[in-house]
Chain A
């Protein structure tokens, strides 16, 4: 069927919004900025819905050529778009959740003096993210990939007058560069061996190749390099360090970019490249191990954080680890499923956290909150739902996807009980730290000292309006919360009976086969494992309840008992410090003493300066030849001619 979907509209609309707000926003009223900032991503969402409605009548994968870009010899990369089940899911998540967060931002950022700039950046981010998702070749995807990095940098450092925000932006950018380096090398390998970056062309060539069992080969190398890129963008060990710091950005940014969409780009990219990973078991193993370790590692850090957004940040890292674990055991659709539900509930958690922060006037320390459920009931309700969802309590969204991942980790041919066990432990920790967050924030007595906290808060968060008691956020912020809460509640139901997996099966192919094998392993095991994961979720809830509600003196005691370990966890295992010692300091020292003082100063600068000095000294001497005395000039000419004549005579004689 040759229908034209005009897919190009979807990324272009937010770009237009970004351009209008970016160029004219400063002079326009807030109302105009809001209109532009909402209408364009809203229109993109609407168009994505239209695409979704017409989806069933499409010839998949649908490809759309937009413009000529790079053609060199046999290599070509065009501005061309690609739509299949996988990109459709991503498309709806990004435009849908993105649009909700745009609405929320109207309320959250209303008081900010750079209101227009915020919306310009946010729309710019949407443009790049949609480019990333819809690209039909790796190069265009890479443009989107870098572009979201840029938007992320701009938005983390949105309050750039604050030093910590500016350096957090830089950190995110630089750490991502390391990952992108791997990604790029992977792309070069693809070009070298397949002569193309086009998805269809590359995968058509990869398809007939057999799996590289035993020894590692080309596909393994490409897979691992792509995973390095994904580690950077999706904040996996060892490159996760930028994400917690990225919380310096405004909360809607944390929700949109650093929870719901951009950080899942790595998962998307790995899933998109499943053809390569399927044939490289070693690379899959690397993905699974990195994902599993990250999930556990970040979860343990999460339990000791006191900053509400930091808890959520580590939780995001941990959940992304889950997604990679799913991809690593070959259950790509489970990973994408979790990506989707995670976008709902983690987006909601961040927005609700933003609402909490808004309510208490910019305070982010949970020790200074408490008892907020009577002040901000709607926020409490929605955040409660999100917490149930992420903890994996049925029937909320997180349960279905997380359970699918754990089941696949156990039963898939690439899986093992080790992944499953670590996954379950992580699920327990997740449940614990999320309920801890909920209890510390919403239960007990209010511990904030408003007056002081607000003076501080105004300076840092730009909430100019005066705060009395904690107060509920305006409707413009609550409505997105409620919609996301509904999605977090029912969003997982699409996974019942493997419907989600079957939907993605044309992309990932192997889904059916794996499921058939899984079916043989008996339903009993599956139900048993499901029971275990629900049990640990409830255990996490109970532990949090005991520690933070019924016996609030216990956490301190436990912390004292586990002194060394607790301090390590509290300080995030000193990873930042270790990186600073291991990489940053040698780099800075090396750059200072060798590259700057040594090579730049001593070699390059000195060469240039000495050459100039030498020229000056020589000419200082030689200029005396030009005495103004005619006869001395004549003498020089005569002497010169004599030499020339003598030379010619000598030549003649010889």
Chain B
């Protein structure tokens, strides 16, 4: 039996990787993938806690997160394609027109 803390450490690590990638990377696809990484980090902790406490709610929640993530990916990728078509770049530093 793998102790709960292992899962949580892994989950935290994944989440931290996601945050770091989100902050550091300039490529919009990579940023997008970092978001998925964070989501999955959280998912892992949900499942771990669900298994630990024998509560099904955590597992159900993960399904919800995955559904929302899939929907988000669909919309997000569409936006990315639209941005690429007009700006011909994926560098977020160059996509900064929305400002005062």
Q: A608-649 interface mask toward B, CB cutoff 8 Å, 1 = contact, 0 = none?
A: 000000000000000110111111001100100000000000
Q: A629-B92, A629-B93, A630-B92 are in contact. Are A635 and B23 (CB under 8 A)?
A: yes
Q: Would you call A631 and B99 a contact (CB within 8 A)?
A: no
Q: Which residue of A lies closest to B93 (CB)?
A: A629
Name B23's contact: one of A624, A628, A634 (CB within 8 Å): A634
Q: Would you call B99 and A627 a contact (CB within 8 A)?
A: yes
Report the interface size for chain B: residues with CB under 8 A from the other chain. Answer: 13
Contacts of A635 in B (CB 8 A): 23
Contacts of B22 in A (CB 8 A): 634, 638
Distance in Å from the Cβ of A353 to the closest Cβ of chain B?
A: 76
Q: Which residue of B lies closest to A619 (CB)?
A: B100
Contacts of B95 in A (CB 8 A): 630
Report the interface size for chain A: residues with CB under 8 A from the other chain. Answer: 11
Contacts of A623 in B (CB 8 A): 100
Bound CA–CA A635/B95 (angstroms): 16
Q: A634-B22, A634-B23, A638-B19 are in contact. Are A629 and B96 (CB under 8 A)?
A: yes
Contacts of B100 in A (CB 8 A): 623-624, 626
Contacts of A631 in B (CB 8 A): 23, 26, 92-93
Q: A362-395 interface mask toward B, CB cutoff 8 Å, 1 = contact, 0 = none?
A: 0000000000000000000000000000000000
Q: A626-B99, A628-B97, A628-B98 are in contact. Are A638 and B92 (CB under 8 A)?
A: no
Q: B68-93 interface mask toward A, CB cutoff 8 Å, 1 = contact, 0 = none?
A: 00000000000000000000000011
Contacts of B98 in A (CB 8 A): 628
Distance in Å from the Cβ of A579 to the closest Cβ of chain B?
A: 60
Q: Which residue of B lies closest to A623 (CB)?
A: B100
Q: Which residue of A lies closest to B95 (CB)?
A: A630
Q: Would you call A638 and B23 a contact (CB within 8 A)?
A: yes
For the A-B complex with A628-B99, A634-B22, A634-B23 known, give 10 more contacts whose Cβ atoms are closer than 8 Å.
A623-B100, A624-B100, A626-B99, A626-B100, A627-B96, A628-B98, A629-B93, A629-B96, A629-B99, A638-B22
Residues of B whose CB lies within 8 Å of any CB of A are 19, 22-23, 26, 31, 92-93, 95-100
Residues of A whose CB lies within 8 Å of any CB of B are 623-624, 626-631, 634-635, 638
> Can you spell out 22 A-B residue pairs with CB atoms less than 8 angstroms apart?
A623-B100, A624-B100, A626-B99, A626-B100, A627-B99, A628-B97, A628-B99, A629-B92, A629-B93, A629-B96, A629-B99, A630-B31, A630-B95, A630-B96, A631-B23, A631-B26, A631-B93, A634-B22, A634-B23, A635-B23, A638-B19, A638-B23
8 shortest A-B CB distances, which residue pairs? Answer: A628-B99, A628-B96, A630-B92, A623-B100, A629-B96, A628-B98, A626-B100, A627-B99
